[in-house]
Amino acid sequence: MSGQRGWPLWEVFVRARRGLSHQHVGSLHAPDAAMALRNARDVYTRRGEGVSIWVVPASAIAASSPDEKDAFFDPALDKAYRHPTFYDVPEGVSHL
């Protein structure tokens, strides 16, 4: 039972149907990408939930840290002028 421990973790993304992007649905362990894809099909699409699957080694994902989330996302918070609701539209103007 040499390698049963430490099979890499794969994050699974499924495209539910054409026109939609792949969405993260969960994760699984598998020794390689081919097995990860097969297992992802059996675990996450038993009822036709997808038309395409991506599996990505979890170790390949770089993520922002929850600890620095304020500092990291702050620059977006004080720029209300990026939203259309920031602007006054005079009465009677339509299609704007």
Partner 1 sequence: MYGNIDRIEPPDAPSDATSDAPADGDGGGMVAAARHAEFDRLIADDQRIEPRDWMPDGYRKTLIRQIAQHAHSEIIGMQPEGNWITRAPSLRRKAILIAKVQDEAGHGLYLYSAAETLGVDREDLLDQLHAGKQKYSSIFNYPTLSWADMGAIGWLVDGAAILNQVPLCRCSYGPYGRAMVRICKEESFHQRQGFEILHTLSRGTPAQHAMAQDAVNRFWWPSLMMFGPPDESSAHTVQSKAWGIKRFGNDELRQRFVDMCVDQARVLGLDLPDPDLRWNAERGHHDFGVIDWAELNRVIRGDGPCNADRMARRVGAHEDGAWVRDAADAYAAKHSRDTAAVA
Only one of the segments 14-22, 25-33, 74-82, 84-92 lies at the binding site for partner 1 (rule: CB under 8 A); that segment is 25-33
Whole-angstrom Cα distance, residue 35 to residue 56?
12
Q: How many residues in the shown chain lie near partner 1 by CB under 8 A?
A: 24
Site map for partner 1, 38-57, x if CB under 8 A? ----xx--xx----------
CB 80 within 8 A of CB 50: no
Q: How near is the Cβ of 76 to partner 1 at its closest, in Å?
A: 19
- Out of 28, 50, 53, 55, the only residue in the binding site for partner 1 (CB under 8 A) is 28
- Pair type for strands 52-57 and 23-29: unpaired
Whole-angstrom Cα distance, residue 26 to residue 74?
29
The one-letter amino acid code at 79 reads K
Residue with tokens 């039972």: 1
Interface with partner 1 by CB under 8 A: which residues?
A: 1-5, 7, 9, 26-32, 34-35, 42-43, 46-47, 63, 65-67
